[in-house]
Protein backbone atom coordinates (compact mmCIF):
# COMPACT_ATOMS: atom_id res chain seq x y z
CA UNK A 1 0.00 0.00 0.00
CA UNK A 2 2.76 2.45 0.92
CA UNK A 3 4.46 1.83 -2.41
CA UNK A 4 1.22 2.57 -4.29
CA UNK A 5 0.79 5.79 -2.33
CA UNK A 6 4.41 6.72 -3.09
CA UNK A 7 3.82 6.19 -6.82
CA UNK A 8 0.66 8.30 -6.71
CA UNK A 9 2.51 11.11 -4.93
CA UNK A 10 5.30 10.93 -7.51
CA UNK A 11 2.78 11.39 -10.33
CA UNK A 12 0.74 14.15 -8.68
CA UNK A 13 3.89 16.05 -7.70
CA UNK A 14 5.83 15.38 -10.90
CA UNK A 15 8.46 18.09 -11.51
CA UNK A 16 6.99 18.99 -14.92
CA UNK A 17 3.81 20.14 -13.14
CA UNK A 18 5.46 22.53 -10.68
CA UNK A 19 5.52 25.75 -12.79
CA UNK A 20 1.87 25.24 -13.76
CA UNK A 21 0.94 24.62 -10.12
CA UNK A 22 2.78 27.82 -9.14
CA UNK A 23 0.99 29.80 -11.84
CA UNK A 24 -2.48 28.46 -10.99
CA UNK A 25 -1.94 29.00 -7.26
CA UNK A 26 -1.12 32.64 -7.93
CA UNK A 27 -4.26 32.98 -10.05
CA UNK A 28 -6.25 31.50 -7.18
CA UNK A 29 -4.69 33.77 -4.54
CA UNK A 30 -5.15 36.85 -6.76
CA UNK A 31 -2.38 39.21 -5.65
CA UNK A 32 -2.45 42.67 -7.25
CA UNK A 33 -0.41 41.65 -10.32
CA UNK A 34 -2.97 38.93 -11.06
CA UNK A 35 -6.01 41.16 -10.46
CA UNK A 36 -4.60 43.74 -12.89
CA UNK A 37 -4.02 41.04 -15.51
CA UNK A 38 -7.14 40.51 -17.71
CA UNK A 39 -8.88 37.16 -17.09
CA UNK A 40 -8.79 36.24 -20.78
CA UNK A 41 -5.02 36.70 -20.83
CA UNK A 42 -4.73 34.61 -17.68
CA UNK A 43 -6.51 31.74 -19.42
CA UNK A 44 -4.30 32.06 -22.48
CA UNK A 45 -1.19 32.13 -20.30
CA UNK A 46 -2.29 29.01 -18.41
CA UNK A 47 -2.89 27.19 -21.71
CA UNK A 48 0.58 28.18 -22.98
CA UNK A 49 2.24 27.12 -19.71
CA UNK A 50 0.50 23.76 -19.53
CA UNK A 51 0.90 23.06 -23.24
CA UNK A 52 4.57 24.00 -23.55
CA UNK A 53 5.99 22.98 -20.17
CA UNK A 54 3.84 19.94 -19.37
CA UNK A 55 2.14 18.37 -22.38
CA UNK A 56 4.88 18.84 -25.00
CA UNK A 57 7.75 17.44 -22.87
CA UNK A 58 5.45 14.67 -21.57
CA UNK A 59 4.51 13.61 -25.11
CA UNK A 60 8.15 13.54 -26.19
CA UNK A 61 9.13 11.48 -23.13
CA UNK A 62 6.20 9.13 -23.76
CA UNK A 63 7.32 8.65 -27.37
CA UNK A 64 10.84 7.90 -26.17
CA UNK A 65 9.42 5.24 -23.86
CA UNK A 66 7.37 3.72 -26.68
CA UNK A 67 10.53 3.43 -28.76
CA UNK A 68 12.48 1.99 -25.80
CA UNK A 69 14.88 4.92 -25.77
CA UNK A 70 14.19 5.15 -22.03
CA UNK A 71 13.09 2.39 -19.66
CA UNK A 72 10.50 4.37 -17.69
CA UNK A 73 8.82 7.75 -18.11
CA UNK A 74 9.74 8.62 -14.50
CA UNK A 75 13.40 8.51 -15.67
CA UNK A 76 14.86 6.51 -12.78
CA UNK A 77 18.13 5.84 -14.64
CA UNK A 78 20.65 8.69 -14.57
CA UNK A 79 22.05 7.92 -18.01
CA UNK A 80 18.59 8.15 -19.59
CA UNK A 81 17.87 11.66 -18.31
CA UNK A 82 20.10 13.79 -20.54
CA UNK A 83 17.93 14.07 -23.67
CA UNK A 84 14.62 14.60 -21.79
CA UNK A 85 16.33 17.30 -19.71
CA UNK A 86 17.56 19.03 -22.86
CA UNK A 87 14.04 18.89 -24.35
CA UNK A 88 12.59 20.45 -21.18
CA UNK A 89 15.20 23.25 -21.16
CA UNK A 90 14.40 24.00 -24.80
CA UNK A 91 10.63 24.13 -24.23
CA UNK A 92 11.00 26.41 -21.20
CA UNK A 93 13.47 28.70 -23.00
CA UNK A 94 11.42 28.94 -26.18
CA UNK A 95 8.28 29.71 -24.15
CA UNK A 96 10.17 32.39 -22.23
CA UNK A 97 11.25 34.15 -25.42
CA UNK A 98 7.74 33.76 -26.85
CA UNK A 99 6.32 35.70 -23.91
CA UNK A 100 9.11 38.12 -22.98
CA UNK A 101 7.94 40.72 -25.52
CA UNK A 102 4.27 40.48 -24.60
CA UNK A 103 4.52 42.90 -21.69
CA UNK A 104 3.74 40.31 -19.03
CA UNK A 105 4.39 41.00 -15.35
CA UNK A 106 7.96 39.80 -14.60
CA UNK A 107 6.63 37.25 -12.09
CA UNK A 108 5.29 35.03 -14.88
CA UNK A 109 8.49 35.20 -16.87
CA UNK A 110 10.52 34.29 -13.79
CA UNK A 111 8.58 31.03 -13.53
CA UNK A 112 9.88 30.05 -16.95
CA UNK A 113 13.37 31.45 -16.48
CA UNK A 114 13.71 29.77 -13.09
CA UNK A 115 12.41 26.49 -14.48
CA UNK A 116 14.96 26.57 -17.30
CA UNK A 117 17.75 27.31 -14.82
CA UNK A 118 16.67 24.52 -12.47
CA UNK A 119 16.59 21.94 -15.25
CA UNK A 120 19.93 23.16 -16.64
CA UNK A 121 21.56 22.84 -13.21
CA UNK A 122 19.99 19.39 -12.77
CA UNK A 123 21.34 18.39 -16.19
CA UNK A 124 24.87 19.43 -15.25
CA UNK A 125 24.71 17.68 -11.87
CA UNK A 126 23.21 14.59 -13.50
CA UNK A 127 26.34 14.15 -15.59
CA UNK A 128 28.21 13.22 -12.40
CA UNK A 129 25.59 12.40 -9.78
CA UNK A 130 21.91 11.47 -9.61
CA UNK A 131 19.92 14.30 -8.03
CA UNK A 132 16.20 14.00 -7.25
CA UNK A 133 14.39 16.04 -9.87
CA UNK A 134 11.12 15.60 -7.96
CA UNK A 135 12.73 17.31 -4.98
CA UNK A 136 14.25 20.00 -7.17
CA UNK A 137 10.75 20.69 -8.47
CA UNK A 138 8.95 20.82 -5.12
CA UNK A 139 11.85 22.76 -3.63
CA UNK A 140 11.47 25.22 -6.49
CA UNK A 141 7.78 25.61 -5.65
CA UNK A 142 8.65 26.46 -2.04
CA UNK A 143 11.37 28.84 -3.25
CA UNK A 144 8.90 30.66 -5.52
CA UNK A 145 6.45 31.46 -2.73
CA UNK A 146 9.23 32.25 -0.25
CA UNK A 147 10.62 34.71 -2.80
CA UNK A 148 7.23 36.27 -3.50
CA UNK A 149 6.64 36.74 0.23
CA UNK A 150 10.14 38.12 0.81
CA UNK A 151 9.67 40.77 -1.90
CA UNK A 152 6.20 41.66 -0.65
CA UNK A 153 4.44 40.66 -3.86
CA UNK A 154 2.31 38.04 -2.15
CA UNK A 155 1.31 37.11 1.39
CA UNK A 156 0.59 33.41 1.48
CA UNK A 157 2.22 31.69 4.46
CA UNK A 158 -0.31 28.86 4.17
CA UNK A 159 0.86 28.04 0.66
CA UNK A 160 4.50 28.10 1.76
CA UNK A 161 3.74 25.74 4.64
CA UNK A 162 1.76 23.51 2.26
CA UNK A 163 4.69 23.36 -0.17
CA UNK A 164 7.00 22.30 2.68
CA UNK A 165 4.56 19.57 3.72
CA UNK A 166 4.32 18.38 0.11
CA UNK A 167 8.12 18.34 -0.03
CA UNK A 168 8.06 15.96 2.93
CA UNK A 169 5.57 13.68 1.16
CA UNK A 170 7.63 13.81 -2.03
CA UNK A 171 10.82 12.93 -0.19
CA UNK A 172 9.06 10.01 1.47
CA UNK A 173 7.81 8.80 -1.92
CA UNK A 174 11.21 8.94 -3.61
CA UNK A 175 12.89 7.14 -0.72
CA UNK A 176 10.11 4.54 -0.48
CA UNK A 177 10.45 3.74 -4.18
CA UNK A 178 14.24 3.42 -3.78
CA UNK A 179 14.80 5.85 -6.65
CA UNK A 180 17.04 8.10 -4.55
CA UNK A 181 19.00 8.15 -1.33
CA UNK A 182 18.66 10.77 1.40
CA UNK A 183 21.54 12.91 0.11
CA UNK A 184 19.98 13.11 -3.37
CA UNK A 185 16.59 14.01 -1.87
CA UNK A 186 17.87 16.73 0.48
CA UNK A 187 20.25 18.18 -2.09
CA UNK A 188 17.47 18.35 -4.68
CA UNK A 189 15.15 20.25 -2.35
CA UNK A 190 17.81 22.71 -1.19
CA UNK A 191 18.99 23.38 -4.76
CA UNK A 192 15.46 23.90 -6.05
CA UNK A 193 14.41 26.18 -3.19
CA UNK A 194 17.62 28.25 -3.22
CA UNK A 195 17.72 28.79 -6.97
CA UNK A 196 14.05 29.77 -7.29
CA UNK A 197 14.29 32.05 -4.24
CA UNK A 198 17.21 33.86 -5.87
CA UNK A 199 15.41 34.11 -9.23
CA UNK A 200 12.40 35.73 -7.56
CA UNK A 201 14.34 38.08 -5.27
CA UNK A 202 17.23 39.28 -7.43
CA UNK A 203 16.44 42.17 -9.76
Q: How do residues 158-195 score in pLDDT, each as one tens digit? A: 999 999 999 999 999 999 988 889 999 999 999 999 99
Which 8-state DSSP code applies to residue 129?
A: S
**How many domains does the chain divide into?**
1
pLDDT score of 17 more than 80? yes
Separation of alpha carbons 35 and 28, rounded Å:
10
At residue 66, the pLDDT reads 84
pLDDT score of 91 more than 90? yes
From 177, 173, 197, select the one nearest 118 (Cα to Cα). 197
Q: Print the domain residue range for 75.
A: 2-201
Amino acid sequence: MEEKIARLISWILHPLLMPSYALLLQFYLKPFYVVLFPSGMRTALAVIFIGNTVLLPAIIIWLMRQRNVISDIQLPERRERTFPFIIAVITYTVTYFMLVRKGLPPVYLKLLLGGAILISVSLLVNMFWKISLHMVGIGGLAGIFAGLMYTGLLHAPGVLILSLLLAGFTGFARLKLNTHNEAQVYTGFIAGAAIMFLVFTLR
